[in-house]
Amino acid sequence: MKKPNIFYGWWVVVGTAILLAVLGPAAVAVANIYQTPIVAQYGITNSQFAISNSLVLGVGIFLSPMVSKRLSGNNFKRNYIISLIICALAYVGYGLTTDRYVFYFLSLFVGFGSLSTTIIPASILISNWFVNKRGLALSLAFSGLGIGGVVFSQLVTFLINTFNYQVAYMVYGSLMLLIVLPVILFLIKVKPEDIGLTPYGTEDSVYKKSDNTFDADEKIPTSSKSIQSTHFLLLLIGAMLVGIVNNRGFGQLPPVLANIHGDATAATIISVYSGIGIIGKIALGHINDRYGAIKSTIYATSLLALAYFAVLFSEQIVIAFVMPIIFGLGNAIETVLPLLITSEIYSVKSYSLAYGYVNSGVQLGMTIGSLYVAGVADFTGSYNYSWISIIVFSIMIGILWVGAYKKSQTSSI
C-alpha cells in the first residue's frame, strides 16, 4: 500500500475529537444546565437532581474494567455503535419522561453509554495508532471535550430558553446519532493494521525519553500479579485523588466565586478556565512527548496545587482571574494524564484493561469529591480547609504517580 502524505492516524485523532466534542459534554459539562427547569418541573430539591449525576458517574466505578475489556476486543465498532444508540435513546428519554424515578433509571443507561463512547474508546484508538507522539495525539483528541463544552452549553441554553428542557434533551440526543454514527462508521479505523499501516513511531522500535529508555513491547503486561503490585496500587490511589481534585473540587468553585464577586463575574472566570483548558491539554501532551512521564506529572500536579493555593486569596479580583488560567493549564490531569501514565507503564496489549481500573478510580473520586469538598466546608465553616486539603491531594498525586512509574520500571513480572 502506498504510504499516504498524511498519516491516517491524524484523521483518527480528528474523528476522536468529534466524538468527544459531541458526547463528552452531555454527562458532565452541560448536565447542570438542565437543573433549574427540572427542579421546577418535578418539584424536587437540587440535591435530588444531583442524584442523577451521581448515577451517571457511579456507573463508571463498577463498569470501567468491563467496558475497557469489551472495547479492546475484535468487535470495537459493533460494541461502540450499540453503546452510542443506548446513550442517545436514554438521553432522548430524559425529555420524554415526567417521572423522576424513570429519570434516575435512564441515568444508568446514559452513564453506561457515556462511559462506553467517550474517554475509554478514545484512549484505545489513540493507543492503537500512536507509539511516538502519543501525548500530542491524545491532547489534540481530548481538546474536543473543551470545544464541545462551549458549543453544546450554548446550544442547550438556547433550546431551553426558546422551547423547554424536554426539547433540549431530545435535540441533543438526536444529534449524538446524526453526527457520531457517520464518524464511527466511515472515518474511524480501529487499528492501523486494518488498512495496511503500522502505528506511528514503530519504525523506531526502541525510543528514548528523558525519564528512561525502553522498548514498547517490554512494558509491564497486565496480569493478576501486576494488578496486585505496588505500582498498580499507587496508580489507582492517585487516580481517585485526581477525580476529587480536578473535577469535583473545581465544581464547588462557581458558587464560592459567585458569593464573593457576583454571578456574572463568576461565570466569566469559569469561562476563562474552559478556554485555557483546551491549551492546557495540548501543552501537557507536548511536555509528555518531549520530556517524559515524570516531568509531565510534576508539571500538572504543581499547577493544580498552585491553582488551589490561589483560590485561598480569590477575594482579590486579580488573583480570581489568574487562578482559572493556572487551573486551565493543569486541568488535563483528569483526561490526558491518566491515559499517558498508564500507557507508559503497560504494554499496548494490556493497556486497555489497566486503564479500565484507573478510570474506575477517577470515577470514584469524581463521585465522592463533591460530597467531600462540601462536607469539609460545612463541618469547618469555611471552604479554605477544603482547598488546603486539595492542595495536599494535588501534591500526593505527583508523589504517587511518579512513584508508580519508577516502581514499574524496576518490577519484574
Bin 208: left if φ > 0, else alpha if -120 < ψ < 50, else beta.
Answer: beta
pLDDT score for 219: 54
Q: Judge whether 170 and 97 are in contact, CB under 8 Å.
A: no
Measured CA to CA, the distance from residue 235 to residue 226 in angstroms comes to 12
**Domain chopping of the chain, boundaries:** 8-190, 211-409
pLDDT score for 226: 56
Q: Percent of the chain at pLDDT above 70?
A: 89
Question: Which of the following CATH numbers is that of domain 211-409: 3.30.420.40, 1.20.1250.20, 3.65.10.10, 2.30.30.30?
Answer: 1.20.1250.20
Look at residue 66 and tell me whether its pLDDT is greater than 70: yes
What's the pLDDT band for 218 if we cut at 50, 70, 90? Answer: very low
- State mean pLDDT over 341-359: 83
pLDDT score for 3: 58
What's the pLDDT band for 266 if we cut at 50, 70, 90? Answer: confident
Look at residue 190 and tell me whether its pLDDT is greater than 90: yes
pLDDT score for 250: 61
Q: Check residues 212 and 334 and name the one with the higher pLDDT.
A: 334
- Cα 333 versus chain centre, distance: 9
Q: Check residues 170 and 377 and name the one with the higher pLDDT.
A: 170
Nearest partner of 140 among 280, 343, 341, 333, judged by Cα: 280
User: What's the pLDDT tens digit per position in 351-361?
Assistant: 778 888 998 99
Look at residue 192 and tell me whether its pLDDT is greater than 90: yes
pLDDT score for 50: 79
What's the pLDDT band for 254 if we cut at 50, 70, 90? Answer: low
Look at residue 349 and tell me whether its pLDDT is greater than 90: no
What's the pLDDT band for 112 if we cut at 50, 70, 90? Answer: very high
CA dihedral (150, 155, 157, 163) in degrees, to 10, reads 180
User: What's the pLDDT tens digit per position in 78-102?
Assistant: 999 999 999 999 999 999 998 999 9
* Most confident region among 64-78, 179-193, 315-329 by mean pLDDT: 179-193
pLDDT score for 111: 95
DSSP category for residue 190: S
Q: Judge whether 207 and 131 are in contact, CB under 8 Å.
A: yes
Q: 113-130 burial, b for 16+ CB within 10 Å, e for fewer?
A: bbbbbbbbbbbbbbbbbb
User: What's the pLDDT tens digit per position in 125-159?
Assistant: 998 999 888 889 998 999 898 888 888 888 998 99
The 10 Å Cβ neighbour count of residue 101 is 8
Look at residue 332 and tell me whether its pLDDT is greater than 60: yes
pLDDT score for 211: 43
The secondary element (H helix, E strand) that includes residue 5 is none
Measured CA to CA, the distance from residue 119 to residue 44 in angstroms comes to 31
- The beta strands (E) that lie in 312-374 are given as none
Name the pTM for this structure.
Answer: 0.82
Computed over every residue of the chain, the mean pLDDT equals 85
Q: Can 8-190 and 211-409 be said to share one CATH topology?
A: yes
The 10 Å Cβ neighbour count of residue 104 is 15
Measured CA to CA, the distance from residue 256 to residue 261 in angstroms comes to 9
pLDDT score for 162: 95
Residue 7 C-alpha cell reads as 498519516
Look at residue 216 and tell me whether its pLDDT is greater than 80: no
What's the pLDDT band for 379 if we cut at 50, 70, 90? Answer: confident
Q: Check residues 259 and 103 and name the one with the higher pLDDT.
A: 103
At the topology level, CATH places domain 8-190 in: Growth Hormone; Chain: A; (1.20.1250)
Q: Check residues 84 and 334 and name the one with the higher pLDDT.
A: 84
- State mean pLDDT over 310-318: 91
Q: Judge whether 263 and 36 are in contact, CB under 8 Å.
A: no
* Most confident region among 8-22, 40-54, 146-160 by mean pLDDT: 8-22
Helices (H) and strands (E) in the chain, counts: 19, 2
Look at residue 33 and tell me whether its pLDDT is greater than 90: no
- State mean pLDDT over 60-82: 92
Q: What angle do CA 341, 364, 258 make, to 5 degrees?
A: 100
Look at residue 206 and tell me whether its pLDDT is greater than 60: no
Residue for cell digits 504517580? 401
- State mean pLDDT over 106-115: 96
pLDDT score for 339: 85
What's the pLDDT band for 375 if we cut at 50, 70, 90? Answer: confident
Residue type, 291: Y
Handedness of CA 320, 321, 325, 328 (dihedral sign): positive
